[in-house]
Structure 1
Amino acid sequence: MNDTTSKAVEVSERVPGSPWAPSPPAEHAHVISSDEEAIAIAEDLRVRFLADAGARDKHRRLPFDEVDLFSQSGLWGITIPKAYGGAGVSQTTLAKVFTLLASADASLAQMPQSHFEIIDVIRLTGSEEQKRDLFGKVLAGNRLGNAFSEFKGKNVEDMKTRLVREGDDFLVSGEKFYSTGALFAHLVPIVALDESGHVFVAVADRAASGLTVIDDWSSFGQRTTASGTVLLENVRVAASRVLPAHIVYEHPSAVGPQSQIIHAAIDLGIAQHAIDTTIDLLNTYARPWIDSGQERATDDPYTIAAIGDLKIRYHAAELMLERSGRQLDATIANANEQTIGLAKIAIAEAKVLSTELALLASNKLFELVGTRSTLDKLNLDRLWRDARTHTLHDPVRWKFHAIGQYYLNGIQPPIHSWI
């Protein structure tokens, strides 16, 4: 498929194993038991995903096989609490896992971001029966997709998707966009409003009648996330799969910062990839500028200083991300308005640094390596395109505002999930 053609496929008509249907989960996915194991598996997958990341982007080859490997590795279940069979890893570990994966392929790293947000929603709003059901499915290898955001509202919170009761079930109707992961999912969580205007999440089967996934994502960056449209026409969802998400979305909660820390980690991973690539090409591919009088690009004094600057900024962003993870763990252990504010601000500070660094590093690559770095065969613009696309998710200019209001005027950050 190219960027000017989209394919609308009714999920119920897909044949399992075909290019347009997710593979059924294995009988048993691997279950990770510790933070250390999660990081080790992420490091292994990083090497595998890096090998063909450029080709996937260049040809827009949707990574069905890679997503299967990713979820079967057990990484999609690492934040499920130990009481329900998961590893219950720290937020610092979660950020490290996403940094590693994004340093290979930012599209693949983006795929489960909303999956992890829904795990938090289940943990905080689900009944015991819902937790056992949905956590068990995730640990068995089921992937949760994303039918959250909408394209046509006046802002990100202006949602038209509605959920109405019919007997023992609910019917959901609406249209979603930016639906990262829905094309690869086994279950599709849908954010919808009830008759009273309260937010609920309805977890629909991927093959539910009336649920149509359209692969119409045409962004120049993160090209293989398939973050396109989901159409919902009276999709029936059992009451047992409907979560009272207004508990965490309409009141202060840690769900927002838990989502945000993953975004910051993805940006840091893109920056890491760009810096590593720059250093490698300076040693193997680039030429020194004539006025430097040097024989090697690595001896150019301005290049040396620029790499030093990038590394300083990287280490600062890395430490800020670790710091925000520790604060978030403390907040989850003792959540109240004050600790939630601390987590939001700490992650906003990390997000400012990781955003600026991802853009700077993916741009400096071309400046330092030179014109030959722009050749199509290298496809290095993928890094800048991914950075520019992903950092638009929630604008950094408003992070500065929230941080300033917090420290200067003692104003708590907004309740919504974009900070």
Structure 2
Amino acid sequence: MFLSSHQSATAQTDLAWGEGPSPDYEALATPFRPIFARIRAGAAERELQRRLPVEEIGWLKAAGFGALRLPRAEGGAGAGLPDFFNLLIELSEADSNITQALRGHFGYVENVVNAPAGPFRARQAERIARGEIAGNAWTEIGNATVEGFSTRVLPKDGGLVLNGAKYYTTGSLYADWIDTGASDAANEGVTVLAPRHHPGVSVVDDWDGFGQTLTASGTTTFADVPIDPLDVIRDDDKFRYASAFYQTVHLATLAGIGRALAGDAAAAVAARRRTYTNAAATRSAEDPQVLQVVGRIRGAAYSAGAITLQAARALERAFASHGAGDEAAEEKANALAELEAAQAQTVISNLVLDAATIVFDALGASAIKKPAGLDRHWRNARTLSSHNPRIYKDRIVGDFAVNGTPPPYQWRIGLPAA
């Protein structure tokens, strides 16, 4: 039996989304798809009620989703980056809030899988394999500068303690650990793994953005939180393709939103019975102009996914170059991964934002009613597209194309240096 675009299928090829990134992809994805289906079933209602997906993230933790990138020998699934990002597209089709809430965790895991064998890696890998997840706490607001963090990890009473305040701490409300950017006693940049449930840690869901409303991207404060030295890593020791990696998580999330739009549009058009006197058919499902809109949305989602996977392959090359002993080759692979993610960013965001707008052209005025939940796709896509400002990306790519200028790897936001 041929499957229509909004029915479930074992393989994504059956839905015309294309072949999985590797021969192992379907085996990797199959156990998670029933969970994704459960997550998607309640996605619109959760947004309407602003119910945080605590239970849904718990399902993913229990299924080992947070350990996808961890090697099998360390208790994970050993997924390559293209397979990993394709799974993020599927999760984002179910609920983009959850992918965004787990973004900090995925970056934390990527640090671990790039770390050399030793006490740091062994401890973190054990936590990841147990299903523990990390949130993130990096951005500082107010008078924070681009030069460094006011959040500090300093010696006290023979140990280390963390003090400071962060905003946009996405996913930390759901986490066991918080991946935190800080400055140490030497004023050097470090990443600290802070225990989420210590009494000195306060996580407040005060995120007031109009999109990605369930990511709990609010305020986190640290007051004399004890930190084990094994939970501290210097910025210079972190994986170098981090900026491109985090951006590609956004790209996968946007591609998933595109798929959700395509599915919602197709289902709504198929179910619609009302028509217009000036329509091209008596039913929307037979109206060529309406079908053209649905097809355009689907094409945008397909393209967004394909572009995301191309960027993921560049990240896989950067990962493979790490530790190979050729610094020049590693530097080149990192730069190319950053450039590919930058090239993808503006194109994918434009595709999905356009799709999230024209979906209403395929439906009647009732589609704008809040219970339909279709507005969430634009709001979520617009929110994601506001991260790591896309207006700078074309300039960075153009500067490389014309002048051979390498891209910047890390970026921060704050007041300019004095």
TM-score, shorter chain, exceeding 0.5 = yes
Are 1:141 and 2:119 an aligned pair?
no
Report Cα offsets for 1:135-154 as digits up to 9, x if no partner. 11111111111112222256
Q: Distance between the aligned counterparts of 1:59 and 1:351, measured in 2?
A: 31
Residue 317 of structure 1 corresponds to 304
Residue 160 of structure 1 corresponds to 150
Q: CA distance change for structure 1 residues 156 and 265 in 2, over 3 Å: closer, same or farther?
A: farther
Aligned residue among 394, 400, 404 for 1:400: 394
Q: CA distance change for structure 1 residues 167 and 122 in 2, over 3 Å: closer, same or farther?
A: farther
Of stretches 240-249 and 266-275 in structure 1, the one that deviates more from structure 2 is 240-249
Q: Distance between the aligned counterparts of 2:259 and 2:150, measured in 1?
A: 39
Partner-residue secondary structure (3-state), 1:402: helix
Report Cα offsets for 1:19-64 as digits up to 9, x if no partner. xxxxxxxxxxxxxxx7544322332221010111111111111122
Give the drift of 1:376: 2.3
Letter in 2 for 1:62: L
Q: CA distance change for structure 1 residues 195 and 115 in 2, over 3 Å: closer, same or farther?
A: same
Report Cα offsets for 1:124-145 as digits up to 9, x if no partner. 3566111111111111111111
Give the drift of 1:328: 1.4
Are 1:225 and 2:215 an aligned pair?
yes
Q: Distance between the aligned counterparts of 2:79 and 2:143, measured in 1?
A: 36
| RMSD value, Cα | 2.1
Partner-residue secondary structure (3-state), 1:150: coil
Are 1:106 and 2:96 an aligned pair?
yes
Q: Distance between the aligned counterparts of 1:296 and 1:59, measured in 2?
A: 33
Residue 275 of structure 1 corresponds to 262
Q: Distance between the aligned counterparts of 2:380 and 2:99, measured in 1?
A: 11
Q: Distance between the aligned counterparts of 1:389 and 1:287, measured in 2?
A: 33
CA contact (8 A) 2:301 2:352 kept: no
Are 1:298 and 2:285 an aligned pair?
yes
Report Cα offsets for 1:332-385 as digits up to 9, x if no partner. 111422111111121222322321122112111122212110112212212222
Residue 341 of structure 2 corresponds to 347
Residue 167 of structure 2 corresponds to 177
Residue 74 of structure 1 corresponds to 64
CA contact (8 A) 1:274 1:362 kept: yes
Q: Distance between the aligned counterparts of 1:103 and 1:193, measured in 2?
A: 37
Q: Distance between the aligned counterparts of 1:370 and 1:78, measured in 2?
A: 42
Residue 63 of structure 1 corresponds to 53
Residue 22 of structure 1 corresponds to none
Q: Distance between the aligned counterparts of 1:63 and 1:394, measured in 2?
A: 25
Residue 330 of structure 1 corresponds to 317
Q: CA distance change for structure 1 residues 155 and 44 in 2, over 3 Å: closer, same or farther?
A: farther
Are 1:366 and 2:360 an aligned pair?
yes
Q: Distance between the aligned counterparts of 2:273 and 2:161, measured in 1?
A: 59
Aligned residue among 111, 118, 130 for 1:128: 118
Letter in 2 for 1:242: V
Between the two proteins, what is the percent identity of the paired residues? 26
Give the drift of 1:168: 4.9
Of stretches 168-177 and 54-63 in structure 1, the one that deviates more from structure 2 is 168-177
CA contact (8 A) 1:147 1:179 kept: yes
CA contact (8 A) 2:256 2:301 kept: no
Q: Distance between the aligned counterparts of 2:26 and 2:288, measured in 1?
A: 40
TM-score by length of 2: 0.85
CA contact (8 A) 1:257 1:417 kept: no
Of stretches 327-336 and 79-88 in structure 1, the one that deviates more from structure 2 is 79-88
CA contact (8 A) 1:294 1:300 kept: yes
Give the drift of 1:227: 1.0
Q: Gaps spanning 5+ residues in structure 1: where?
A: 1-33
Q: CA distance change for structure 1 residues 157 and 399 in 2, over 3 Å: closer, same or farther?
A: farther
Residue 375 of structure 1 corresponds to 369
Letter in 2 for 1:182: S
Residue 250 of structure 2 corresponds to 263
CA contact (8 A) 2:92 2:99 kept: yes
Letter in 2 for 1:99: I
Partner-residue secondary structure (3-state), 1:96: helix
Residue 27 of structure 1 corresponds to none
Alignment of 1:6-25 (within 5 A): none
Q: Gaps spanning 5+ residues in structure 2: where?
A: 1-23, 323-329, 413-418
CA contact (8 A) 1:292 1:301 kept: no
Give the drift of 1:406: 1.8
